[in-house]
Amino acid sequence: MWTRDTDSSPAALRSNCACYRTSYDPQFGLPVVGEHYRTVGGDTDNWTYTTYTPLDLRPDDVFASLIIDGENGLFWARTADGALSLLPQEEGCGYGFGRTGGGPTALADYLTKLIASNGKDTTAGGPPYSIRTVDQQILTWVESKPKARHLELTLEELQAIQRG
């Protein structure tokens, strides 16, 4: 579905395009909003997309691999049947690499849970962080930024990282 916001500035002044497109993620049914911005001269022509991350994969999904998109700061899950999803995460709890902020600890916590359940427990969150047990090998790996911009690690490779 396409809509055009003709009442907002600068679209009302006809100096550029401000279009919106709504759709949904066919795997998980989550809403997606695309926003198009283009200047009259065409110097800027950009689409941005906004969506939610799931709190869990689908009930029968089994985690197969972690995909790291370092360029865009995104983390994906590939299921055993090949479906892709943004890596499930708690509200307000982003993932990251390095030694700053809560992102590395949140990612290490989620990966620790995935490894312990052999990829079956894909729910984000859990008990308060103060009582969670994050695997130190996984945390050390997450705190050291990966050399590759794009990386896909299978569950078995994550288990090998955990073993050291």
* Domain count for the chain: 2
End-to-end CA distance of the chain: 50
* Domain co-membership, 15 together with 73: no
161 neighbors 141 (Cβ within 8 angstroms): yes
Give the range of the structural domain holding residue 23, as residue numbers without chain letter.
2-51
112 in a structural domain: yes
129 in a structural domain: yes
pTM for the whole structure: 0.75
* Domain co-membership, 81 together with 41: no
H/E run at residue 136? helix 136-143
58 in a structural domain: no
* Domain co-membership, 143 together with 107: yes
What does each of the 164 residues of the chain score in pLDDT, given as a tens digit?
A: 444 444 444 443 444 667 888 888 887 788 889 888 877 766 777 888 888 888 899 888 999 999 998 888 889 999 999 999 989 988 767 888 887 778 888 899 999 999 999 999 998 877 766 667 889 999 999 988 766 678 999 999 999 999 98
